[in-house]
Amino acid sequence: MNQDKSLSDIAVIGLGVMGKNLALNIADNHFNVSVFDIDSDKVQAAVDAGQTFGHQRIRAVDSMTNLLASLTTPRRILLSVPAGKIVDVICQQLIDAGIEPDDIVIDSGNSLWTDTIARTKQYQSQLQFFAVAVSGGEEGARVGPSLMPSGSMQAWQHIAPIFTRIAAQVDPITFKPIVRQAGEVTTADSEPCCSYIGPAGSGHYVKMVHNGIEYADMQLICEAYDLLSKAANLTALQIADIFDGWAQGRLSSYLMEISADILRQQDPLTGKPLVEIIADQAGQKGTGLWTAVSSLQLGVPAPTIAEAVYARAMSAQKSLRVQLSQQYNPVDVVALSEIELAQLIGALEQALYAAKVCCYAQGFELLAKQASEQDWQLNYAEIAKLWRAGCIIRASFLQDIVQAYASQENQHLLQAEFFVSSLNNAQSAWRQVVITAVTNGVPIPSISASLAYFDSYRSAVLPANLLQAQRDYFGAHTFKRIDQPEQSYHFNWSEPEQGLEPR
């Protein structure tokens, strides 16, 4: 890319954990990187870290003017800063320093997708604003994240050689993630978890939905843990063994693997399982909430994701939960025989899988609806490919989604023959798990919501006919007849003899 080795291929502004690791990842792949941060110690730490891996490709700069002077043209500048006002502050500093209209500023933060669209328009005469949504955390940034780029195709063509190299990679034969160590170059002839998503905002929207799925996937695993702990009275180590077994099959995923690892850790102070010492009050940064809100705005049912957000909100109500636990009678847990325990474990594996399918179906339905609203041409098979490695929701299960969409791009995931067969086979076990949870007073909101979502979609008739009648009764909101679907009617409920009134 760069014939003049005295200049850098790209700059990174913001050298926190993510920015520093992205800079090192870029340098590992033989690109020269200029780095800048208002904290000079962070700049020096990045340079020193690069030298530790035997290269001089990370170069410190001390001002925006010098940063621009250090780069080949068109300049490529990656922002690794928190979402929000700071993005605009840096863009203005770059404008003041002399950035040119063809230069590319790349936002890699968790920005709200509508903000990305607004910034693209705002700066269009001064610079090319582009976005590359990043998933994978600290480790992913260092050795291969999942990347979701969006913006102008012209800008993408200039930065693609860098980002497809630093992304997580998948073996094209086995479809398994390729493990790369810090300091190593990306393997040749692999499939990068990075491909162009579409116009401005689309990449950040896809990342937002990814995070909504992440919320739900985590919650589903937590509900399985809770049920095994409370209804089956299993220890953390016993549940870890079960999770390890599931991780060898169709539930193989990063989140399942780390959950098993977490359950094996002992608290260094008490010797008890560390998970039992951690306070049951979950935090959140907002992207799951954004996904749930978007589903409501678009009228797309995403109950598994929404319930996962509600579960975090419920966890924050600790003091009230403690009080109510003392005011209400406990539920008598039904002791399980060895045979019943084995049956529950097998059923829970099927229920977890089925709920996971519904969770992804909701996410992809959201993507399809927003794509229609925004006139985006999203490739759902390619999006599923991006999530097979590098990101938090990476899982072998995603290859099945790739194949489902590759065979018929625009179908609902629940229509894919593979998942129709899988969920038909899981139905009975799934229902039994919900019955067991309810009987034993164990809340499983996301697993239950997934089943309700599934049952709603497989129902040719829902009770919305009564709901429409209620709306017409108190508000004259009208309704349609099944035998005359084109015409709306109002019924005079107080004087039935007057009959129907076309509206």
Asked if 184 is an active-site residue, the reply is no
Residue 122 three-state SS: helix
Which of 303, 302, 417, 426 lies closest to 364, judged by CA? 302
Residue 4 pLDDT: 64
Residue 483's pLDDT is 95
Sequence-distant (6+) residues with CB within 8 A of 313 are none
Nearest Cα neighbor of 201 from 141, 116, 75, 126 is 116
* pTM for the structure as a whole: 0.93
Annotated catalytic residue within 20, 42, 100, 214? 214
Tell me, yes or no, if 214 is annotated catalytic. yes
Q: Omega into 74 within 30° of 0, i.e. cis? A: yes
E strand or H helix at 502: strand 500-502
- Candidate list 207, 223, 365, 385, residue with the active-site label: 207
Q: Which residue has the tokens 């994240």?
A: 145
pLDDT at position 356, please?
97
Q: Which residues pair with 77 in a beta bridge?
A: 11, 105
User: So what's the pLDDT on residue 335?
Assistant: 87
Q: List, in order of start, the domains of the chain with CATH numbers.
A: 10-200 (3.40.50.720), 218-457 (1.10.1040.10), 464-502 (1.20.5.320)
**Residue 437 near residue 231 (C-beta atoms within 8 A):** yes
Contacts of 117 by beta carbon, 8 Å cutoff, 6+ apart:
200, 201
3-class DSSP assignment, residue 58? strand
- Closest to 213 in 3D by CA, of 153, 135, 140: 135
Tens of pLDDT along the chain (503 residues)? 555 678 999 999 999 999 999 999 999 999 999 999 999 999 999 999 999 987 889 999 999 999 999 999 999 999 999 999 999 999 999 999 999 999 999 999 999 999 999 999 999 999 999 999 999 999 999 999 999 999 999 999 999 999 999 999 999 999 999 989 998 998 878 999 999 999 999 999 999 999 999 999 999 999 999 999 999 999 999 999 999 999 999 999 999 999 999 999 999 999 999 999 999 998 877 788 999 999 999 999 999 999 999 999 999 999 999 999 999 999 998 889 999 999 999 999 999 999 999 999 999 999 999 999 999 999 999 999 999 999 999 999 999 999 999 887 668 999 999 999 999 999 999 999 999 999 999 999 999 999 999 999 999 999 999 999 999 999 999 999 999 999 999 999 999 988 899 99
Tokens of 17: 């954990």
Burial 76-109 (b: 16+ CB within 10 A, else e): bbbbbbebeeebeebbeebeeeebeeebbbbbbb
Query: Are β-strands 146-150 and 33-36 bridged in parallel, bridged antiparallel, or unpaired?
Result: unpaired
pLDDT of residue 238: 98
**pLDDT value at residue 283:** 81
459: amino acid identity, one letter: S
pLDDT of residue 50: 93
pLDDT the model gives residue 409? 62
Q: Give the side-chain half-sphere CA count within 13 A for 167.
A: 28
